[in-house]
Structure 1
Amino acid sequence: MTEVLFYHLQQQPLETLLPGLLEKSLERGWRVVVEAGSVERCEALDALLWTYGEDSFLPHGLWRDPDAAQHPILITTEMDNPNGANVRFLVAGASTGDLAGYVRVVLLFDGNDPDALDAARASWKRVKAEGHDATYWQQSEQGRWQKKA
């Protein structure tokens, strides 16, 4: 079964956390798909990954690129896996679909958004009912991750 991690963002925004998580995924030799809920959000994440740090580079592209399958990190609105990713990040309204074929799926959701909380709870119930290994992580007031379930 797929390992599914739920990250309840409260102290830091997605834009602060996602680049580091992507770096760790690449360090493990994983290919990555980042699924966002809208084209606009994908474009914003694309811009972020080009500019988030002066001393870092995350090789990535968008699903509509002609060579999308070649990118180690692919940002998309689609549920497919064109670059053969091992790990899938679900952000900004993307929901869990078919988890088969992934080592890990990471759902990052805004803990200050009631709709995002409701969607994450529904995804948690579905993932657990399907028998996946799910863990729930929440940020402390200091910004450290604490395993809650």
Structure 2
Amino acid sequence: MSRVDFAYGAVHRLRMACGTAARHVAAGRRLLVYCTDERRLQRFDALLWEFDPTSFIPHALADDPLADQADVILVPDAASLDRIPSLHWLLNLDLDCPPGAERFERILEIVSGHEADIQAARRRWTQYQQAGHDVRGHRLPADHPAAGNHRRT
């Protein structure tokens, strides 16, 4: 089964996801990012372009011909996720658990302080546990750049 890590207390979920993607790329790991919400995935894609003006996070949509060369692959639906060989690491930006979660060594979840985000994360936590995954929670320290009391996702 997979290990699922929830990081909660993020001020801005998508900005923290960009930081997570950047750390994985810097460590030489490729990352799948799953999200069926087209607007959210587009916002994340745009943020990857502007996240750090001094660097570039190579990324592509799953159906892009260059996806095989990208360090971060944006996956918009379950069918695309099924077609992609597992890269071991998946960042879930969806409100539901990714299908076939057991295929991944690690699943990363980022939770903001927004109530709807918290409730959806609690549902995912329960579903992961019921499926037998190793689920762990990590509260972001108050001094972490992505933590805070703001209610944005």
Note if contact 1:88-1:105 (Cα within 8 Å) is conserved in structure 2: yes
89-98 or 115-124, which moves further after superposition?
89-98
30-39 or 52-61, which moves further after superposition?
30-39
Number of aligned positions between the proteins: 144
**Whole-angstrom distance in 2 between the partners of 1:4 and 1:71:** 23
Deviation at 1:83, TM superposition (A): 5.5
SS of 2:101's equivalent in the other structure is coil
| Aligned residue number for residue 30 of structure 2 | 31
- Report which structure shows greater RCO (CA 8 Å, sep ≥6): 2
49-58 or 28-37, which moves further after superposition?
28-37
Alpha-carbon displacement from aligned partner over 1:116-140 (angstroms, at most 9, x marks no partner): 2222112111212222211111234
Deviation at 1:110, TM superposition (A): 2.3
| Aligned residue number for residue 9 of structure 1 | 9
CA RMSD of aligned residues (A): 2.4
Alpha-carbon displacement from aligned partner over 1:51-74 (angstroms, at most 9, x marks no partner): 111211111011232333332211
TM-score norm. by structure 2 comes to 0.79
TM-score norm. by structure 1 comes to 0.81
SS of 2:15's equivalent in the other structure is helix
Deviation at 1:93, TM superposition (A): 2.5
Deviation at 1:92, TM superposition (A): 4.8
SS of 2:102's equivalent in the other structure is coil
SS of 1:100's equivalent in the other structure is helix
Work out the percentage of aligned pairs sharing the same amino acid: 22
* Counterpart amino acid of residue 135 in structure 1: R
Note if contact 2:97-2:128 (Cα within 8 Å) is conserved in structure 1: no
Note if contact 2:96-2:124 (Cα within 8 Å) is conserved in structure 1: no
The ranges of structure 1 where at least 4 consecutive aligned residues each deviate by more than 3 angstroms after the TM superposition are none
100-109 or 27-36, which moves further after superposition?
27-36
Note if contact 2:91-2:108 (Cα within 8 Å) is conserved in structure 1: yes
Distance of aligned partners of 1:83 and 1:32 in 2 relative to their CA distance in 1, 3 Å threshold: farther
Distance of aligned partners of 1:30 and 1:46 in 2 relative to their CA distance in 1, 3 Å threshold: same
SS of 1:50's equivalent in the other structure is helix
| Aligned residue number for residue 103 of structure 1 | 105
